[in-house]
């Protein structure tokens, strides 16, 4: 005699409002973080590439050679590739949230780039610029809390 054993389907717990909200925030936040980090890393690679190439002089005869030097620089090429990947995630982010909400978050990349310029490239940053970055950070916090 064969007794068939039935198993109940797995029961999924319904998501609470706070769980849904947290999941939505993380779903939207991940592309923003990736876009910001990849954008900054791309800019750092571009800067390193241009430091190696030196200051660019633009005149009609040197433009083709300058473009070739940039295009064949591993740092410039890599920087454009990384920055382009960041742009993909930015497009994902802006497809999900209003531009009036999302665009101020571009400032996060500006702040990270600012800190990288100071920490990696040892750029001298005057106090007024530090104060300006503080104001930018406060603005982003206000926008983030406005949703």
What does the pLDDT look like over 67-111, one tens digit per residue?
Answer: 999 999 999 999 999 999 999 999 999 999 888 888 888 888 888
Total tally of structural domains belonging to the chain: 1
Q: Which residue has the higher pLDDT, 19 or 127?
A: 127
Write out the residue range of the structural domain in which residue 77 sits: 29-144
Q: What pLDDT was estimated at residue 21? A: 63
Please state the pTM of the whole predicted model.
0.74
Specify if 10 maps to a domain: no
Q: What pLDDT was estimated at residue 77? A: 97
Q: Are 125 and 118 in contact (CB under 8 A)?
A: yes
Distance in angstroms (rounded) separating the CA atoms of residues 80 and 71 = 10
Specify if 1 maps to a domain: no
What does the pLDDT look like over 14-73, one tens digit per residue?
Answer: 445 555 666 777 787 899 999 999 999 999 999 999 999 999 988 888 899 999 999 999
Q: Can you read off the two tokens belonging to residue 22? A: 């947290």
Distance in angstroms (rounded) separating the CA atoms of residues 122 and 116 = 8
Q: What pLDDT was estimated at residue 95? A: 93
Distance in angstroms (rounded) separating the CA atoms of residues 43 and 96 = 25
pLDDT at 10 over 60: no
Q: Can you read off the two tokens belonging to residue 20? A: 């849904």
Mean pLDDT of 113-138: 93
Longest Cα–Cα distance in the chain = 93
DSSP state of 146: T
Specify if 19 maps to a domain: no
Specify if 16 maps to a domain: no
Specify if 18 maps to a domain: no
117 Cβ contact list (under 8 Å, min separation 6): 123, 125
């Amino acid at each position: 005699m064969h007794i068939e054993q039935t198993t109940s389907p797995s029961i999924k717990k319904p998501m609470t409002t706070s769980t849904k909200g947290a999941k939505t925030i993380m779903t939207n936040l991940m592309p923003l973080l990736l876009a910001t980090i990849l954008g900054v890393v791309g800019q750092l690679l571009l800067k390193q590439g241009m430091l190696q190439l030196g200051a660019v002089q633009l005149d009609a005869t040197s433009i083709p050679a300058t473009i070739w030097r940039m295009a064949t620089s591993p740092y410039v090429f890599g920087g454009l590739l990384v920055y382009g990947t960041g742009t993909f995630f930015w497009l994902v982010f802006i497809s999900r949230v209003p531009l009036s909400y999302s665009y101020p978050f571009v400032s996060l990349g500006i702040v990270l780039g600012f800190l990288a310029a100071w920490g990696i490239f040892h750029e001298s940053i005057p106090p007024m610029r530090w104060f300006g970055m503080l104001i930018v950070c406060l603005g982003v916090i206000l926008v983030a809390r406005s949703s």
